[in-house]
A and B are shown apart, each in its own frame.
Chain A
Amino acid sequence: MKEREIAGKVLEFDDENFMVNYKDWDASIATALASEEGLQALNDRHFVVLDFLRKTYEEKGTGPTMRRLTKESGVPTKELYALFPGAPAKKAARIAGIPKPHGCI
């Protein structure tokens, strides 16, 4: 656990750099975290994914699987990989301020 200043706020992060308290999150934090992940800017489609992740986490206590994410958020697999290049599940969870996803799918 460590504290860091992001977008003017002091936030707690776990050892793998995921936010500890998802309620501390806001859009400016997302933008700052995104730039740490190598994303230049976040657009509406990024936020569709981030909002869906946060909503699922709030309701179920865990982030969605990739399959549920692509089926229910309306962002298809191809687009998801384009929006969050590399490791989309982890990257999106990190930017959304929720813990590391635990699903295998």
Chain B
Amino acid sequence: MSTEILDQPVVEKEKAPEPVKRVSIIISRGTLDGVYPGLIMANGARMEGIEATVFFTFFGMNAVLKDKMDKLKVATVGNPAMGMPTLLGAIPGMSAFASKMMMKEMDKLDIPPVSEFLEMIEDSGGEVYACKAAFEMFHLKKEDLCPQVKDIITIGDFYEKSAGAQIIFT
């Protein structure tokens, strides 16, 4: 009988976890609080030297529309996290007011307006794409999109461009 097998180490040596190298972030919502987390993550990735691609779809498209990108609002109705009674939140102008207050607080933290944020992401080497299905569904034209949008792509293209990336849906 041989003891060779027992002599071999039973547990493999633990490897250090692989650092994140690429992220592919999907922004699917069009509210202020729906858009910003994805933008912060994309910009933060570039700051760390991580490659970043941002893909806008459905109402997230609002964030790349010239007319709408800097006028995003936070929902004051149907948003229990706001802590505002629904009837109060329904008062005309309440959503605009709450959004303005939020933008003010974000500005204090140096969080830029959406248009400037997208410029930062593009200038730092991040790539911005719009979803073809949403583009057609909302009857948009190319000139409606902000200049940072590199292309209007299908979901298949999106997966191709996300090769080797962590895909993050927001």
Contacts and interface: CB of A to CB of B under 8 A. Distances in A.
A77 B46 CA distance: 11
B48 A87 contact: yes
B40 A105 contact: yes
Contacts of B49: 85-87
B20 to A, nearest CB: 12
Interface residues of A, number: 18
Interface string B38-77: 0010011011110000000000000000000000000000
A77 B43 CA distance: 11
Interface in A60-76: 65-68, 70, 76
A68 B120 contact: no
Interface of A is mostly: helix
Interface stretch (B26-34, B84-92, B104-112): B104-112
B123 A105 contact: no
A86 B40 CA distance: 18
A78 interface: yes
B124 interface: yes
6 contacts: A66-B120, A77-B119, A77-B124, A103-B109, A104-B40, A105-B43
